């Protein structure tokens, strides 16, 4: 199998996996959030928004939002044989994965011991287990190619950090008796806010770091495997033929106004075989134009 053929197979597999995870996560997250709202309407004086004082509801809503934005790129990946997420979409996907993974870990570490029914009863098993697993599968199996930095890891816990600060204000400073939130996590029963807040944020950063490190490891491993499909004994002519083939592949999967140039692959080939990137862009563009012209002639 040539490198360009492997790219086509890999992108299709990643896109299909991402599409299935998007559909399942959107459906289950929507079901879980609606169930939570309905439960609040039944139990808390018809105030459905009360359910959003739980970070579970917020993280599942964020997961559904992330999947809604990723969905169009999965469709494009299947159509164009090249699955690409822009950095903003990758960060949103990462933030949602971090937030909902935190919920799952918190549930298994704490809530499951105190109240198994609250942890896994009814629709809670969807929001606490199924949705977190699905979005983590989609995140790790359909990686965007981005390597997440320390700055990204801090950005990934912004929703959690904001929630923790608001929770502290509502519970500790305002208090339920004055119209604030009830202490649903019983933080003040077991720990003082001065201890609980740093612990919660540190746990969140630990989850964010673990998700980022595993994602970065898988990204590097996949790239290494992909690049191994180009053997080291290709001569310059064969490398140019590969670039031409990649151009034809791009041309066969794209319309004129939406051609995607795999610059990362072209620059890698140039570096691997001691060539200039400009030298490989010429055969790539020739392959692209040739394929586009062939398609135009075919549809006349």
Provide the mean pLDDT of the chain: 81
Q: DSSP labels for the chain?
A: --HHHHHHHHHHHHHHHHHHHHHHHHHHHHHHHHHHHHHHHHHTTT-GGGGGGSHHHHHHHHHHHHHHHHHHHHHHHHHHS-----HHHHHHHHHHHHHHHHHHHHIIIIIHHH-HHHHHSTTHHIIIIIHHHHHHHHHHHT--SPPP-HHHHHHTTHHHHHHHHHHHIIIIII-GGGT----TT-HHHHS-HHHHHHHHHHHHHHHHHHHHHHHHHHHHHHHHHHHTTS-TT--HHHHHHHHHHHHHHHHHT--GGG----HHHHHHHHHHTT--HHHHHHHHHHHHHHHHHHHHHHT-
* % of residues, the chain, pLDDT over 70: 82
Q: Does pLDDT of 101 surpass 90?
A: yes
Q: Which range has the top average pLDDT, 24-38, 53-67, 188-202, 275-289?
A: 53-67
Average pLDDT of the segment spanning 89-109:
93
How far apart CA 127 and CA 110 sit, in angstroms, is 16
Average pLDDT of the segment spanning 40-50:
60
* % of residues, the chain, pLDDT over 90: 23
Write out pLDDT tens, residues 134-173.
889 888 877 667 889 999 999 999 999 999 999 989 888 8
pTM: 0.79
What per-residue confidence (pLDDT) applies to 21? 84
Q: How confident is the model at residue 74 (pLDDT cuts 50, 70, 90)?
A: confident
Average pLDDT of the segment spanning 220-235:
71
Average pLDDT of the segment spanning 26-55:
75
Q: Which of 18-32, 126-140, 166-180, 246-260 has the lowest mean pLDDT?
A: 246-260
Q: How confident is the model at residue 206 (pLDDT cuts 50, 70, 90)?
A: very high
Compare 191 and 53 and report the one with higher pLDDT: 53
Domain ranges of the chain: 3-226, 233-298
């Amino acid at each position: 199998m040539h490198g360009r053929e492997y790219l086509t197979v890999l992108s299709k597999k990643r896109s299909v996996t991402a599409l299935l995870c998007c559909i399942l996560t959107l459906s289950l997250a929507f079901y879980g959030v609606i169930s939570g709202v309905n439960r609040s309407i039944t139990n808390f004086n018809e105030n459905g928004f009360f359910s959003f004082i739980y970070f579970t509801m917020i993280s599942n809503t964020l997961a559904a939002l992330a999947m809604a934005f990723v969905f169009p790129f999965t469709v494009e990946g299947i159509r164009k044989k090249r699955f690409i997420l822009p950095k903003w979409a990758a960060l949103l996907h990462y933030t949602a994965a971090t937030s909902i993974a935190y919920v799952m870990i918190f549930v298994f570490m704490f809530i499951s011991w105190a109240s198994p029914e609250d942890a896994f009863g009814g629709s809670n098993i969807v929001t606490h287990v199924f949705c977190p697993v699905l979005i983590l599968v989609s995140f790790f199996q359909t990686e965007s190619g981005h390597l997440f930095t320390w700055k990204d890891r801090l950005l990934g816990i912004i929703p959690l950090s904001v929630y923790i600060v608001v929770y502290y204000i509502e519970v500790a400073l305002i208090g339920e008796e004055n119209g604030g939130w009830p202490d649903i996590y019983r933080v003040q029963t077991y720990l003082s806010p001065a201890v609980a807040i740093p612990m919660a944020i540190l746990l969140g950063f630990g989850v964010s770091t673990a998700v980022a490190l595993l994602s970065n490891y898988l990204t590097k491993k996949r790239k290494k495997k992909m690049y191994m499909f180009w053997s080291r004994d290709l001569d310059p002519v064969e490398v140019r033929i590969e670039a031409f083939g990649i151009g034809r592949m791009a041309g066969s999967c794209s319309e004129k106004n939406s051609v995607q140039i795999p610059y990362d692959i072209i620059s890698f080939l140039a570096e691997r075989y001691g060539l200039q990137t400009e030298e490989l862009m010429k055969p790539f563009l020739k392959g692209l134009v040739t394929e586009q012209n062939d398609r135009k002639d075919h549809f006349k």
